[in-house]
């Protein structure tokens, strides 16, 4: 089934008695009972399918989880209270019964670096970083550190590099090491990591899948082998998304392919326009034929869809210049997120990568003149006009 069709139909329309609701209701009940206690006993024993307690199961969440697993071609999914909760859950599940060593890509979202170095490392997990664009370096790091899990992003934040996920998956499959992919920037429209050999996909539902700036949520989608462990961990710790947010996420995800297609098309137009502006010294965009990872992008991405994130470097731009640019924007929203229907601008130095030292940022190539754009569904001419006017200010 096509992704547009899956988004609209999967998960919903479960029969309740003789009637079928066209959308899944928001189930607020914390606990459930049955006609007799024998049935409840069988539900607890997983012999009869049904909810018993909201930390274990919620029908609204389950509808969303079916939809997400279908979109990523995974076995099962678990909706979490945030993208970061989903990442934590995926990594903890991946590391179960394995060496507590994570080999992570150097190019990661700032809070993910904090999760690794400030939460998991103090808990005794060894964290090793490598440049995942360098396949030989990844192979060497696997051989040297024998990690229990690998972690990378499909499109890195904010420099939009694309590592050879398919080649890395061949290495992890051969060594039987779970590969965890944060695919928030790509979304299932642009690429589906499980199809290239990854074991876990993580999304911040807050971004493209919900898409309207009104939900904080996350999801882990995985293959069959890890699904029971994922549920067991979540049911014990309670990483869950609330049913109101699950409903909103599912509603958002129904139109996600339409939005994403438009956002990708807009990004291509806006990136080309910005590349011509005299105050822009560099445009980072995955649709650029001269992108350093163009061959990998051609191999992994859905043809014609390159994502909707663009980063630009303002020529000789200082922090003051970037502030002036952002303050001069009239339509583009200067708020901390991405993937929404409205175009947004974010300054990594003060937001996503604020907690890293200036030295660490410089090592990652995140300089004071770098600005990140998330392109929305508006008219591309209006987006470009607003950005150009602000650059001229």
| Residue ranges in contact with ligand PLP by CB under 6 A | 82-84, 109, 111, 153, 157, 182, 184-185, 204, 206, 216, 218
Q: How far is the CB of 238 from ligand PLP (least distance, A)?
A: 16
Are 219 and 89 spatial neighbours (Cβ–Cβ below 8 Å)? Answer: no
Closest CA to 284 of 270, 296, 298, 295: 270
| CB atoms near residue 239 (< 10 Å) | 23
Can 182 be counted among the known catalytic residues?
yes
Kindly name the residue from 56, 109, 247, 347 that is annotated as catalytic: 109
CA separation for the pair 208, 308 (Å, rounded): 10
**Interstrand relation of 179-182 and 200-204 (parallel, antiparallel or unpaired):** parallel
Name the residue nearer to ligand PLP (CB basis): 192 or 279.
192
- Measured CA to CA in angstroms, residue 104 lies from 36, 137, 153, 196, 359 at distances of 50, 12, 9, 18, 19
**Interstrand relation of 280-284 and 309-314 (parallel, antiparallel or unpaired):** antiparallel
Can 109 be counted among the known catalytic residues?
yes
Can 12 be counted among the known catalytic residues?
no
Burial (CB count within 10 angstroms: exposed 0-12, middle 13-18, buried 19+), residue 167: middle
Can 361 be counted among the known catalytic residues?
no
Q: Look-up: residue for tokens 């462990």?
A: 229
Kindly name the residue from 56, 57, 161, 182 that is annotated as catalytic: 182
Q: How far is the CB of 124 from ligand PLP (least distance, A)?
A: 23
Name the residue nearer to ligand PLP (CB basis): 180 or 329.
180
Kindly name the residue from 6, 161, 192, 207 that is annotated as catalytic: 207
Q: How far is the CB of 378 from ligand PLP (least distance, A)?
A: 21
Q: How far is the CB of 121 from ligand PLP (least distance, A)?
A: 18
Name the residue nearer to ligand PLP (CB basis): 156 or 265.
156
Kindly name the residue from 34, 42, 53, 55 that is annotated as catalytic: 55
Residue sitting closest to ligand PLP (CB): 83
Name the residue nearer to ligand PLP (CB basis): 8 or 351.
351
List, by residue number, the catalytic residues: 55, 109, 182, 207
């Amino acid at each position: 089934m096509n992704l547009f069709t899956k988004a609209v139909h999967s998960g919903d329309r479960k029969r309740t008695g003789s009637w079928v609701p066209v959308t899944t209701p928001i189930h607020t009940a914390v606990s459930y009972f049955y006609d007799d206690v024998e049935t409840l006993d069988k539900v607890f024993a997983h012999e009869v399918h049904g909810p018993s307690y909201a930390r274990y199961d919620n029908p609204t969440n389950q509808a969303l989880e079916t939809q997400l697993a279908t979109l990523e071609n995974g076995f099962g999914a678990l909706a979490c209270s945030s993208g970061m909760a989903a990442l934590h859950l995926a990594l903890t599940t991946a590391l179960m019964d394995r060496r507590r060593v994570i080999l992570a890509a150097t190019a990661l979202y700032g809070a993910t670096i904090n999760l690794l170095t400030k939460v998991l490392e103090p808990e005794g997990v060894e964290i090793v970083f490598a440049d995942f664009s360098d396949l030989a370096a990844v192979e060497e790091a696997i051989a040297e550190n024998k990690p229990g899990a690998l972690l990378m992003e499909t499109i890195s934040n904010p420099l939009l590099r694309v590592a050879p996920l398919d080649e890395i998956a061949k290495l992890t499959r051969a060594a039987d090491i779970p590969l965890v992919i944060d695919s928030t920037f790509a979304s299932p429209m642009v690429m589906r990591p499980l199809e290239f050999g990854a074991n876990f996909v993580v999304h911040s539902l807050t971004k493209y899948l919900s898409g309207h700036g009104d939900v904080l949520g996350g999801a882990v989608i995985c293959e069959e082998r890890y699904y029971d462990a994922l549920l067991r961990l979540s049911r014990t710790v309670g990483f869950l998304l609330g049913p109101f947010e699950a409903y909103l996420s599912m509603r958002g995800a129904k139109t996600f392919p339409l939005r994403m297609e438009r956002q990708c098309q807009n990004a291509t137009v806006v990136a080309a326009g910005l590349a011509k502006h005299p105050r822009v010294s560099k445009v980072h965009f995955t649709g650029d034929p001269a992108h350093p990872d163009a061959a990998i992008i051609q191999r992994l991405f859905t043809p014609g869809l390159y994502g909707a994130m663009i980063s630009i470097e303002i020529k000789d731009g200082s922090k003051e210049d970037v502030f002036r640019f952002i303050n001069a924007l009239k339509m583009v929203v200067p708020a901390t997120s991405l993937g929404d229907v409205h175009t947004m601008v974010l300054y990594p130095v003060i937001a996503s990568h604020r907690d890293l030292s200036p030295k660490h940022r410089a090592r990652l190539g995140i300089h004071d003149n770098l600005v990140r754009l998330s392109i929305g569904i508006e008219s591309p001419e209006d987006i470009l006009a607003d950005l150009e006017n602000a650059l001229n200010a």
